[in-house]
Amino acid sequence: MGREGISTGTINIKNVEIPGHYLIGEWNRGFYYAMEGFNCARTLVAAACIGAAAEKVLESGIEHIKKRKAFGMPLAGFEGIQFQLAEDHTRLESARLLVYKAAWMFDEMYKKGRFSHAEINKAVASAKLVAPTTAFDIIKDVLTWYGAYGYTKEAGLERGLRGVASYIIGAEGAQNIMRVIIAREVLGKEEVS
């Protein structure tokens, strides 16, 4: 549906034996290494959603509503548009700060041994929960501000929607799974089955 510059598929591996000297890290810790990798990837995709997607698109939307006139005045003069812009701006700032916090905590963990895995999991899942939906909603608003032109492929906004949707659906973990992680870390493992 989107992100057409990369291919996505499935690999099946059956009856394959790998010589022991290819072992990475400790035996039976692979799942945990993979999960740590996911925390890093989730922070990066959340950053891509707010930067490459939402911020650039909102900037272009602001330029457009200042220029485009309807009923004798720029779209930016209508309160209905201003309210959407105010929401979008605030949500973008909130998502950005969540992503910065997750990235900073990650750095602190590796450089100074600060923060537990549980704290990092919660911060990263919060950033990954908020950033893709924020980007999707901002792109949708800007696409609407562009009117019929926004609906064309030439405007490029539909490509942004298709791209960030992948992070809502599942790439680097589905949104409900981010909610599962956050609830588990807030409530404690013993409270969550």
Ligand X SMILES: Cc1cc2nc3c(=O)[nH]c(=O)nc-3n(C[C@H](O)[C@H](O)[C@H](O)COP(=O)(O)OP(=O)(O)OC[C@H]3O[C@@H](n4cnc5c(N)ncnc54)[C@H](O)[C@@H]3O)c2cc1C
Residues that bind ligand X (CB under 6 A): 3, 8, 166, 169-171, 173-177, 180
Residue among 61 and 173 whose Cβ is closer to ligand X: 173
Residue among 81 and 171 whose Cβ is closer to ligand X: 171
Dihedrals phi, psi of 37, to nearest 5 degrees? -60, -40
Q: How far apart are CA 97 and CA 182, in angstroms?
A: 17
Dihedrals phi, psi of 68, to nearest 5 degrees? -70, 125
| In the complex, minimum distance from the CB of residue 5 to ligand X, in angstroms, rounded to a whole number | 11
> What DSSP designation does 7 have?
-
> What DSSP designation does 193 have?
-
Residue among 41 and 109 whose Cβ is closer to ligand X: 41
| In the complex, minimum distance from the CB of residue 127 to ligand X, in angstroms, rounded to a whole number | 17
Which amino acid would we find at residue 117? H
| In the complex, minimum distance from the CB of residue 141 to ligand X, in angstroms, rounded to a whole number | 23
| In the complex, minimum distance from the CB of residue 137 to ligand X, in angstroms, rounded to a whole number | 18
Calculate Rg over the CA atoms of the chain. Answer: 20
Q: Give residue 190's Cα distance to chain centre.
A: 29
Which residue has the closest beta carbon to ligand X?
170
Residue among 137 and 172 whose Cβ is closer to ligand X: 172
